[in-house]
A and B are shown apart, each in its own frame.
Chain A
Amino acid sequence: EAGVAQSPRYKIIEKRQSVAFWCNPISGHATLYWYQQILGQGPKLLIQFQNNGVVDDSQLPKDRFSAERLKGVDSTLKIQPAKLEDSAVYLCASSLPLGRLNTEAFFGQGTRLTVV
């Protein structure tokens, strides 16, 4: 079974530029998550989708971050404009739908973003 796919693996941009990350979840996983992991910290949830609807985006900095999952499958996370403090690894994860037993989330390898 294929895992969660993310691209690119690495990205370096200058501050105030924009950047986009892509995620393709495990087939059949209706729930998709974007986490931000700053160096030395645990991942923090940015946004959670159930199919193409947003379940939780309470920690998403909406003035600069946006995410979409238009067809309920793959997803894109965008930052515009980027700040130095956005340097982090952005992890995508997927799981079976809410309402099932609280199953585990499967994570991709992440995109490491460096803002200079």
Chain B
Amino acid sequence: AQKVTQAQTEISVVEKEDVTLDCVYETRDTTYYLFWYKQPPSGELVFLIRRNSFDEQNEISGRYSWNFQKSTSSFNFTITASQVVDSAVYFCALSMTGFQKLVFGTGTRLLVSP
């Protein structure tokens, strides 16, 4: 069975602080995909990144970076120099190759105060 665990329910930081959101996953498949989505108060889920299981290179996109470690089954997300607009719920998700059904974690609510 596939499972995604986001142990951090809510994180509060002050603007310009760096923050890391943790994601731990479980799957028996050797090929899979990991995702991060952002859910702002408006409700829609906004795609941030997709990573396949064969690519463990870390990725940086502006203030966002992702650290994928198969050895610990983790796919953590770091926001550098956080901003108030980063306030949202962030979801980590997992899917099998060939099937796009997403298995989501319970989400981490990030509150960035000025």
Contact = CB atoms under 8 A, between A and B. Distances in A.
B28 interface: no
A106 B106 contact: no
Interface string A41-54: 11111001000000
Interface size class of B (residues with CB under 8 A): 20 to 34
B95 interface: yes
B45 A98 contact: no
Contacts of A55: 99
Nearest to A108: B44
A89 B101 contact: no
Contacts of B98: 98-99, 102
B93 A42 contact: yes
Contacts of A102: 33, 50, 52, 95, 97-98, 100
Contacts of A89: 43
A95 interface: yes
B101 A56 contact: yes
B104 A105 contact: no
Contacts of B33: 102
Contacts of B95: 102
Contacts of A112: 43
B45 A107 contact: yes
Interface in B75-107: 91, 93, 95, 97-102, 104-107
A88 to B, nearest CB: 12
A109 B43 contact: yes
A85 interface: no
Nearest to B6: A42
Given A43-B91, A44-B104, A98-B99, 19 more contacts: A33-B100, A35-B102, A41-B106, A42-B106, A42-B107, A43-B102, A43-B104, A45-B102, A56-B101, A89-B43, A91-B44, A91-B45, A93-B45, A98-B98, A102-B52, A102-B97, A104-B35, A105-B47, A109-B43
